[in-house]
């Protein structure tokens, strides 16, 4: 309780700087009020035309969580095979991967196979008719459609961190949209945008996250010119 109060006392910058993916959970239940507070602030996210097409399914039922794990494990294994991750995990330190990268891979692999141990899963769905897709005509994949749902998702991740809850955002379940539609009664016209596991973090919070410095991605006047 004291820890949760301390988390709620964190400033915005501090929360933004350290809201890592949490992939191991203690199994303690997630208080409904904490989820309610997080959803209640996340809803102030922007969306094209303020259409607010997000819908969230809160999943705590153990049987449904096991089914979600089964749906997640397959694309995870495919991803590992495709990227050489499985070989690296099997080789361990001999893989030559930097220690941090190997540790992340191990954590993500353990997470995939214990997916159902997160006490709550939030499925972020979106009303496809509410998306303002201004780049639909460009000869490349659309980026803008997601911009009406992912600010909400990020708000939610930060709000969960503010509540002292661990969370991890994933998109590997999205290709299983048809199975999810059936499992969770998602109507036609709504897409699955992503998923968030939520629970009490089992490991200590990291002191800082690893991200590139501002000067590496910010330019002045022309792309690539230092600012
Ligand atoms: C679009 C997107 C998709 C992601 N999909 C997955 C996923 O399927 N599985 C997973 O374990 N993490 C997933 N992540 C989490 C990233 O791996 C994580 O944000 C990144 O490694 C940084 O980790 P950190 O915040 O703990 O430093 C995803 C993140 C984003 C933004």
> What does the buried/exposed string (b/e) look like for 189-212 if buried means 16 or more CB atoms within 10 Å of the residue's CB?
ebbbbbbbbbbbbeeeeeeeeeee
Q: Is this model's pTM higher than 0.85 or not?
A: yes
Ligand 1 centroid from CA 37, angstroms: 24
User: How high is the pLDDT of residue 9?
Assistant: 75
CB 85 within 8 A of CB 146: no
Residue of the CA atom closest to atom 6 of ligand 1: 170
Provide mean pLDDT across the span 76-83. Answer: 96
CB 126 within 8 A of CB 54: yes
Pocket perturbation via mutation, ligand 1, pick of 72, 169, 173 by most ligand atoms within 8 A of CB: 169
Establish if 210 belongs to a structural domain. Answer: no
User: How high is the pLDDT of residue 132?
Assistant: 86
Q: What's the pLDDT band for 141 if we cut at 50, 70, 90?
A: very high
Ligand 1 centroid from CA 221, angstroms: 31
- In the chain, what percentage of residues exceed pLDDT 90? 93
Q: What is the CATH number of the domain that holds 175?
A: 3.40.109.10
Residue of the CA atom closest to atom 9 of ligand 1: 170
Q: Could you tell me the residue range of the domain that residue 146 belongs to?
A: 2-62+117-132+139-203
Mean pLDDT for all residues in the chain? 95
Pocket perturbation via mutation, ligand 1, pick of 156, 170, 195 by most ligand atoms within 8 A of CB: 170
CB 56 within 8 A of CB 39: yes
> What does the buried/exposed string (b/e) look like for 78-107 if buried means 16 or more CB atoms within 10 Å of the residue's CB?
eebeeeebbebbeeeeebebeeeebeebeb
Ligand 1 centroid from CA 200, angstroms: 18
User: How high is the pLDDT of residue 78?
Assistant: 96
Provide mean pLDDT across the span 113-119. Answer: 97
Ligand 1 centroid from CA 211, angstroms: 13
Ligand 1 centroid from CA 39, angstroms: 20
Token code pair at residue 94: 């001999």
Pocket perturbation via mutation, ligand 1, pick of 89, 109, 118, 171 by most ligand atoms within 8 A of CB: 171
- In the chain, what percentage of residues exceed pLDDT 70? 99
Provide mean pLDDT across the span 118-143. Answer: 96
pLDDT at 152 over 90: yes
> pLDDT tens across 176-223, in order?
999 999 999 999 999 999 999 999 999 999 988 999 999 999 999 999
Q: What's the pLDDT band for 2 if we cut at 50, 70, 90?
A: low
Establish if 77 belongs to a structural domain. Answer: no
Provide mean pLDDT across the span 7-35. Answer: 93
Ligand 1 binding pocket (C-beta < 6 A) is 20-21, 108, 111, 168-172, 209-210
Number of domain units in the chain: 1
Establish if 155 belongs to a structural domain. Answer: yes
Residue of the CA atom closest to atom 17 of ligand 1: 21
Q: What's the pLDDT band for 8 if we cut at 50, 70, 90?
A: confident
User: How high is the pLDDT of residue 1?
Assistant: 56
Ligand 1 centroid from CA 108, angstroms: 9
pLDDT at 118 over 70: yes
Ligand 1 centroid from CA 169, angstroms: 6
User: How high is the pLDDT of residue 74?
Assistant: 96
């Amino acid at each position: 309780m004291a820890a949760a109060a301390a988390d709620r006392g964190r400033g915005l910058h501090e929360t933004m700087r350290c809201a890592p993916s949490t992939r191991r959970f203690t199994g303690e239940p997630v208080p409904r009020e904490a989820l309610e507070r997080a959803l209640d602030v996340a809803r102030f996210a922007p969306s094209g035309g303020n259409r607010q097409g997000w819908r969230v399914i809160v999943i705590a039922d153990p049987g449904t969580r096991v089914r979600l794990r089964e749906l997640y494990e397959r694309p995870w294994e495919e991803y590992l095979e495709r990227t050489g991750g499985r070989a690296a995990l099997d080789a361990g330190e001999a893989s030559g991967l930097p220690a941090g990268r190997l540790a992340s891979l191990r954590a993500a692999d353990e997470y995939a196979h214990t997916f159902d141990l997160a006490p709550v899963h939030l499925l972020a769905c979106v009303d496809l008719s509410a998306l303002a897709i201004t780049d639909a005509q460009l000869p490349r994949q659309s980026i803008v459609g997601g911009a009406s749902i992912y600010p909400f998702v990020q708000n939610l991740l930060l709000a969960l961190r503010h509540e002292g809850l661990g969370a991890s955002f994933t998109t590997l379940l999205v290709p299983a949209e048809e199975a999810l539609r059936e499992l969770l009664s998602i109507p036609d016209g709504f897409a699955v945008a992503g998923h968030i596991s939520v629970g009490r973090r089992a490991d200590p919070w990291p002191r800082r996250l690893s991200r590139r410095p501002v000067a590496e991605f910010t330019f002045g006047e022309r792309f690539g010119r230092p600012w």
